[in-house]
Amino acid sequence: MSCSIDGGGRGRGGRGGDGQGSGDGPAAGGGESPARTPALGRVVPAPSSVEPAAGVHTLTADTAIRVGESDDARAVGEYLAGLLRPSTGHPLPVTSEDGADGVRLRLDAAESALGAEGYRLESSDASVTLTAREPAGLFHAVQTLRQLLPAAVEKDTAQPGPWTVPRGTITDVPAYAYRGAMVDVARHFFTVEQIKRYVDQLALYKINKLHLHLTDDQGWRIAVDSWPKLTSVGAVTAVGGGSGGFYTKDDYREIVRYAASRHLEVIPEIDFPGHTAAALASYPELNPEGETSEIHTGVEVGFSSLTVGKDITYDFVDDVIREIAELTPGEYLHIGGDEADATSQEDYAVFMEKAQAVVAKYGKTVVAWHQLAGARPAPGAVAQYWGYDDTSAAERAGVLGLVGQGVRLILSPADRTYLDHKYTAEEELGLKWAGLVEVDRSYDWDPAAYLDGVPREAVLGVEAPVWTETLETTEQLEYMAFPRLLSTAERGWSSGGEWDEFRLRLAGQAGRWEAMGITYYKSPTVPWDEV
């Protein structure tokens, strides 16, 4: 990585190499100015290569967004215009007319080195040119461009500007294909609008997967037509006995559509065979003797199980997976498999083998938590590792065993990526079973070297889950996610990276969060006032 955070020479004094402001207008060096231009490398996640040049490019009332004849480039151009118009007050027409000026979006199939998600951003006096091989790359380029504009660009009312972008060239490709965030909508329900807001925030940091934990002991949150009581009974409550909620199929399609418009793929999770109290309460016939049982409103885990020896269990699993697969244009379907402590080891292996086969039957690639080690993994299966520093050698060996059978891993080490964990002991929100996760700790790992004996090629990517036992509101979710979400985003996108440098780029994002109305934790480990 050849990135330097103040590479454009537009930072302020105090750290070696910056402070030589180029003096191109009021944006230079104005510490409190809402229109201060970030330096070219001050982007999260860190770009692969940053070559700064002197000066800035300025967006003006005459700037056009040039997208050529491509509908895909036009969609990204319209998205960019939608972001920039409210704060700049500029018309920013999206046009197919070619020209050497303005913001130019180019899709070029010959740019093979940029891959499925990479891009190049070239900023000069005359223009800012974004080039990618695929639409996702152009979309990511737009996120970088946003971060290179003054933070006030994120506001939704007209701001004074000027709207400057540092000059130079960024070339950027991700380290990992899977860069995910998970929301547990089962412990507490989050509405379509709340999820959309989070999707927009994830997109800003180039997260490309949204994993929704849709079912758990406390609630079943997705309509299944063939088993309607899952929602009419199973969705009515939540942790603490609150009012619950669920997505209709149209709601869910809207989440999928919206996420796709931000180049995120939605991965639905239906957690089997444990974490199923809500399903068992909805359909007593899923219990061993057909007995009635209750939805759980506490936060304990590991007490519920589908009945592995009953045929109806597999009718249920087949119907649910079929209907969820139908709602899923993406590749992956997650079947949980964690903490099945109320299922015998033998039953677990039988159940997981059958459930994986159903996922394959409906054309999806199976994902499961790493307890999948207790069963035979299906060909192509992906396991999500959620261990932590204290995870036993035996459990780690199980994960190595999976990798030896060709399973790829999504890494979600709980003491780094779990956004539900407390930052400090004083925190009211959050859990701490894996320890405290201050912001510096959330960055303190390398996916390529994290698990001894797991080669980099076996790592599909990373994911930051938000479990919601203690979280009920958007403000709470954001407070837990920001800033730690950015650590995982960077570990997924960028190779390498040191905390002492990352923390400065992190601090540089705070003005943006404030402009966007994002609640965040002002960690003492981050020098908020120094940038």
User: What does the binding site for ligand NGO look like in residue numbers (CB under 6 A)?
Assistant: 301, 338-339, 369, 386, 418, 420, 431, 467, 469
**Local structure of 27: helix, strand or coil:** coil
For 381, phi and psi rounded to 5 degrees? Answer: -60, 150
Q: Which is nearer to ligand NGO, 292 or 392 (CB)?
A: 392
Spatial separation of the C-alpha atoms in residues 150 and 514, rounded to whole Å:
12
Shortest distance in whole angstroms from residue 188 CB to ligand NGO? 11
163-172 and 49-59 strand pairing: antiparallel
Residue type, 315: D
Q: Which is nearer to ligand NGO, 6 or 469 (CB)?
A: 469
Strand partners, 220: 215
The number of beta carbons lying within 10 Å of the beta carbon of residue 515 is 18
Residue indicated by tokens 């709602």: 327
Shortest distance in whole angstroms from residue 370 CB to ligand NGO? 9
Shortest distance in whole angstroms from residue 301 CB to ligand NGO? 5
Q: Which is nearer to ligand NGO, 415 or 478 (CB)?
A: 415
Spatial separation of the C-alpha atoms in residues 201 and 477, rounded to whole Å:
12
Which element (helix H / strand E) includes 74? Answer: helix 71-88
Q: Is there a catalytic annotation at residue 154? A: no
Long-range contact set of residues 195-199: C-beta below 8 Å, sequence gap at least 24: 195/255, 196/255, 196/258, 197/474, 198/474, 198/477, 198/481, 199/255, 199/258, 199/259, 199/262, 199/264
Q: Which is nearer to ligand NGO, 400 or 431 (CB)?
A: 431
Residues with Cβ within 8 Å of residue 23, at least 6 apart in sequence? none
**Local structure of 400: helix, strand or coil:** helix
Shortest distance in whole angstroms from residue 507 CB to ligand NGO? 27
Catalytic residue among 339, 395, 427, 514: 339
SS3 of the chain: helix, strand, coil, percent, to 5: 35, 20, 50
Shortest distance in whole angstroms from residue 157 CB to ligand NGO? 39
Q: Residue 379: is it exposed, middle or buried by C-beta count within 10 angstroms (0-12/13-18/19+)?
A: exposed
Structure tokens at 114: 């940029």
Per DSSP, helices labelled H in 149-222 are 192-204
Q: Which residue is nearest to ligand NGO (CB)?
A: 467
Structure tokens at 352: 């997981």
Cα dihedral sign, 249-254-260-266: negative
Shortest distance in whole angstroms from residue 367 CB to ligand NGO? 12
Structure tokens at 193: 């609008």
Q: Which is nearer to ligand NGO, 165 or 222 (CB)?
A: 222
Spatial separation of the C-alpha atoms in residues 264 and 201, rounded to whole Å:
11
Q: Which is nearer to ligand NGO, 164 or 470 (CB)?
A: 470
Spatial separation of the C-alpha atoms in residues 398 and 373, rounded to whole Å:
5
Residue numbers annotated as active site: 339
